[in-house]
Amino acid sequence: MHEIAPTWNERCNRQLSRRRQRALSGQMRTSQAPTRAAKELALAVLLIAVGVRACAAAAATTVCASNVQSPPFFYVAQFNKDGTLPRGLAVEILREAIGTRVGGPHIAKLPWKRCLKLAELGLIDIVINVPTAQIDAAPFFITEPYVEMRSAYYVSRRRWPRGIPITNLEDLKAYRLCSLSGNTYDGYGLRGQPVDSGTNNYISLIGKLHAGNCDLFIEKREVVAGLRLLAPRVAEAFASRDLISARLPEDSPIGLHFAVSKRSKEGAALRARLDRTIARLKAANTINRWMMGYLNAQR
pTM for the full predicted model: 0.71
Average pLDDT of span 40-65: 56
Determine the pLDDT at residue 10: 39
For residue range 115-165, list pLDDT tens digits in order: 999 999 999 999 999 988 778 889 999 999 999 999 999 999 999 999 999
- Containing 261, the helix (H) or strand (E) segment is strand 254-261
Given a cut of 90, whether residue 242 has pLDDT beyond it is yes
Cβ-Cβ contacts under 8 Å for 105 (sequence gap 6 or more): 55, 56, 57, 61, 63, 86, 91, 94, 95, 98
- Tell me what the pLDDT averaged over the chain comes to: 80
Q: Pick from 286, 296, 292, 297: which is nearest to 95 by CA?
A: 286
Domain pair 6-146+256-295 / 151-247, same fold? yes
Average pLDDT of span 55-61: 53
Average pLDDT of span 231-260: 90
Predicted confidence band of residue 286 (pLDDT cuts 50, 70, 90): very high
Instruction: Specify the CATH number of the domain 151-247.
Output: 3.40.190.10
Question: Yes or no: is domain 6-146+256-295 CATH 3.40.50.970?
Answer: no
Angle, in degrees to the nearest 10, between helices 232-239 and 221-230:
140
State the amino acid at position 257 in one-letter form: H
Q: Of 83-87, 143-147, 191-195, 267-271, where does mean pLDDT reach its minimum? A: 83-87
List the chain domain ranges.
6-146+256-295, 151-247
